[in-house]
Structure 1
Amino acid sequence: MADGLTTKPVGPASDRSPREPRRRPSLPVGVIVRWRLTPWWLRVLAVFVLSRAVSTVMLLIYASMQGRNAWTMAQPDYASFASIWDGHWYYIIAVVGYPSSIPLTVDGHAAENAWAFMPAYPMLVRGLMELTGAPFATLAVVVSVLFAAVTALLFYRLMSLLLPSGTAMFAVLLLCVAPLSPLLQVAYAEAMFLCLLCACLLLLVQRRYLWMLPLVTVLSVTRPGALALALAIGLHAIHRLATRGRDPFPVREMIAVAVTAVATALLGVAWPVIAGLVTGVPNAYAETELAWRSAYIGYGPLIPFTPWVQGANWWLPGGAGVVLLLLAVVLFAALLLSPIGRRVGVDLRLWSVAYALYLLAVFFPQSSTWRLLMPLFPVLGILAVPRSRVYRAVLVGLCIVGQWVWLYYCWWVNGYDWTPP
């Protein structure tokens, strides 16, 4: 039933689910018992804190090697190092806001500017700066870490609706050690966006549609993605209509999900409309976003679903890039349709499809695309399903190595850098 009751259990599945056969423990029995008796939220936070310690050590190592660059002096402190790249744009927004007109290049095109970045995160940090007097860099990192911790808690609750608790906890571990997980503790809006998105997906799975609207309102001015969420809600409604014979879909729930989908779509275009109204340029937001790809393919109009083909041909000319792109799409679809993919339920797979379509429609693939893949985090629930200890240990090890590699190529500034995060 909508907005209050759910047709699915909301508590975590038992550790002794039939899908998780009893195995001989490799740790002392007392340690295992104490771990299982620990409240779920404390276990999640323990995983989160330990994972952040690993990422912090890596960031500090790179900070100690960092030379002087456009944002910091040599060997910056942690907060300064965590506030480079887009963190500096958020700092500008927090301090001076947005320009009243779109800055132009010498040839008359929109230049890179603050309108590409949405206001919820920097304005929240600005509010805390006014309250505490603390500097932007410190507060930006604190805000990100707090949102990331809540994301881990919400992700466990989401996964535990669909998977055994042990598998749900391993999915949380994968989220916390993923190759791009250092972004959860820097001056980027990703942690805030993932937190809001995870809460929305949890409510969608629980069919509490109207409760999503306050969260979507903030999400829509945090990071791009509200249009993808609107599509996912619409696909959810279509699926419920198609299966209403075995899963009743009352009229009041139809109304609630329709209102939520339409409102989310409208909120998804709110920021581009605001940018157009303030600057007097109707397509100010789109033109600003296009400025970031001009270094690769020059300036040109945004034609949906062409950027990835352009990017594939730019990175790997001669058709090899397009073949690789098609292979990636096929493998992604195969993962979602596989038996283990079906374990995470229909709604999370619909979100994954909707967001993937959104990326394919509007984004140009470059080094920051890895960051744009982070909202596909429900896929981690699929990767967490296999129970092999060797598989899990190798996967965690690869994720940690991936952090080091990503920090080297995308975060650390090593001379002329064409791989921004």
Structure 2
Amino acid sequence: MQIPEAPGVAGRTGVTSTDRPSRAATRRPFRDAIAVAAGSRAFIFAVAFASAALIGIGDLPVGWRFPVRAEVFSGWLGSLFNPWAHWDGVWYIKIATSGYADADGSTAFFPLFPMLVRYLGVLLNGNLLLTGIIISLLCYAGSVWLLWRLVRQDFDEEIAGRAVVYLAVGPLSFFLQAVYTESLFLLLTLACFVFAREGRWRLAGIMGLLATLTRSTGVLLLVPMAYYYYDRCGWRLRKTDSHVANLLMVFEGLLVWMTYLALAFGKPLAFSSAQAQWERSLGAPNYTVTKAVAATVWGLRKVIS
């Protein structure tokens, strides 16, 4: 005698619970990626510590050093932390300490990061070096999560994990824990992309505004935001005027900075004219490569000498 099938069983594909990947298996790429992301920070700290302790930091031009605030540690703590606030990091700490001045070229550095260092530094008793490092590390952690979330919108866990690993071990990833804007800008850029992909235009606009207050290149976020907007909504102005206004918030960050410069120094474009002091200008990609090679040779000579 044939036993009848239970209702609803007929037509099933035969997939059983043993065929489905376990939750632990699907989360393994995420855990592995997080381990690499965290381990890479520890490794880079160790390399910097060994380099500073064994080779030494060397003599830097006086304009690139700020011993009172940017070199607050000595001994092995100095080898561990002080190297992360050299070059641009010194200027961010100077700005966080005493604000902007027109004559010294500090207006080339946009204000959000030094503002965070200044006001969050109160929590660490005014230790702006450590504050800047912690801000960068926290922004790096947030960037790792947002990158995973962004890639997972189109790909599986394994590819998302690879994206996180490539970010963590990239040759320039050491900037992501320095007293630089890289981590903060990356966090805000990824947040802008995620919110734009999800159609959350106001949040995307706010992230774009903050990114522009971090670096001048933040204004370029309007391009992908406009693309995502068109892909989702089209250009139906009667129904989407408010959303378009949210996209244009990207420019408001630049307007805020220009307004401050106009009120403080009478020069709304002071950030642009200050770029000449840092030898920054528009140029072809091959020019950047040439400058990078020259800087590498200069650095090697400093180490050898």
Q: Same fold (TM over 0.5)?
A: yes
1:168 match? 160
- Indicate the SS of the match to 2:58: coil
Q: Which amino acid aligns with 1:409?
A: T
Quick check: 1:67 aligned with 2:58? yes
Number of residue pairs aligned between Structure 1 and Structure 2:
270
Is residue 367–residue 410 contact of structure 1 (8 Å, CA) maintained in 2?
no
Distance in 2 (CA, whole Å) between partners of 1:86 and 1:411 is 17
How far is the alpha carbon of 1:256 from its aligned partner? 4.2
Distance 1:121 1:367, change over 3 A: farther
Distance 1:44 1:269, change over 3 A: farther
1:287 match? 273
Q: 2:44 aligns with which of 47, 52, 55?
A: 55
Quick check: 1:415 aligned with 2:302? yes
Q: Which amino acid aligns with 2:166?
A: L
Q: Which amino acid aligns with 1:91?
A: I
Is residue 116–residue 289 contact of structure 1 (8 Å, CA) maintained in 2?
yes
Q: 1:266 aligns with which of 232, 248, 252?
A: 252
Q: 1:126 aligns with which of 118, 139, 145?
A: 118
Is residue 190–residue 223 contact of structure 1 (8 Å, CA) maintained in 2?
no
Q: CA RMSD in A?
A: 3.5
Is residue 272–residue 286 contact of structure 1 (8 Å, CA) maintained in 2?
no
1:10 match? none
Is residue 84–residue 133 contact of structure 2 (8 Å, CA) maintained in 1?
yes
Distance in 2 (CA, whole Å) between partners of 1:257 and 1:78 is 47
How far is the alpha carbon of 1:239 from its aligned partner? 4.3
> Per-residue displacement from partner, 1:20-75 (whole Å, max 9, x unpaired)?
xxxxxxxxxxxx98963657765443221112122222222332213233437898
Q: Which segment drifts farther, 72-81 or 147-156?
A: 72-81
Matches within 5 A, 1:202-241: 202-240=194-232
Quick check: 1:276 aligned with 2:267? no
Higher relative contact order (CA 8 A, sep 6+): 1
Distance in 2 (CA, whole Å) between partners of 1:167 and 1:152 is 13
Q: Which amino acid aligns with 1:50?
A: G
- Indicate the SS of the match to 1:69: coil
Q: Which segment drifts farther, 269-278 or 201-210?
A: 269-278
Is residue 196–residue 229 contact of structure 2 (8 Å, CA) maintained in 1?
no
Distance 1:169 1:410, change over 3 A: farther
Distance in 1 (CA, whole Å) between partners of 2:49 and 2:184 is 23
Structure 2 unaligned spans of 5+: 1-20
Distance in 2 (CA, whole Å) between partners of 1:282 and 1:186 is 29
- Indicate the SS of the match to 2:146: helix
Quick check: 1:88 aligned with 2:74? no
Distance in 2 (CA, whole Å) between partners of 1:147 and 1:412 is 28
> Per-residue displacement from partner, 1:239-274 (whole Å, max 9, x unpaired)?
4566x9xxxx7964x334311222222333432342
Q: Which amino acid aligns with 1:173?
A: V
Distance 1:134 1:285, change over 3 A: closer
2:130 match? 138
Please give the TM-score of this superposition, normalised by the length of structure 2: 0.76
Q: 1:257 aligns with which of 231, 238, 243?
A: 243
Q: Which amino acid aligns with 1:83?
A: A
> Per-residue displacement from partner, 1:152-210 (whole Å, max 9, x unpaired)?
01100000001111011001100111111000111101101111111110011111111
Percent identity of equivalent pairs: 23
Please give the TM-score of this superposition, normalised by the length of structure 1: 0.56
Distance 1:410 1:45, change over 3 A: farther
Q: Which amino acid aligns with 1:263?
A: M
1:325 match? none
> Per-residue displacement from partner, 1:372-420 (whole Å, max 9, x unpaired)?
xxxxxxxxxxxxxxxxxxxxxxxxxxxxxxxxx99x939968539xxxx
Distance in 2 (CA, whole Å) between partners of 1:40 and 1:410 is 39
- Indicate the SS of the match to 1:98: coil
Distance in 2 (CA, whole Å) between partners of 1:154 and 1:120 is 20
- Indicate the SS of the match to 1:211: helix
> Per-residue displacement from partner, 1:81-116 (whole Å, max 9, x unpaired)?
0100000000101100112xx21xxxxxxxx52111
Q: 1:46 aligns with which of 29, 32, 35?
A: 35
2:184 match? 192
- Structure number having the greater helix percentage: 2
Is residue 67–residue 413 contact of structure 1 (8 Å, CA) maintained in 2?
no
Distance in 1 (CA, whole Å) between partners of 2:27 and 2:173 is 25
How far is the alpha carbon of 1:139 from its aligned partner? 1.5
Distance in 1 (CA, whole Å) between partners of 2:197 and 2:185 is 18
How far is the alpha carbon of 1:237 from its aligned partner? 3.5
Matches within 5 A, 1:385-404: none
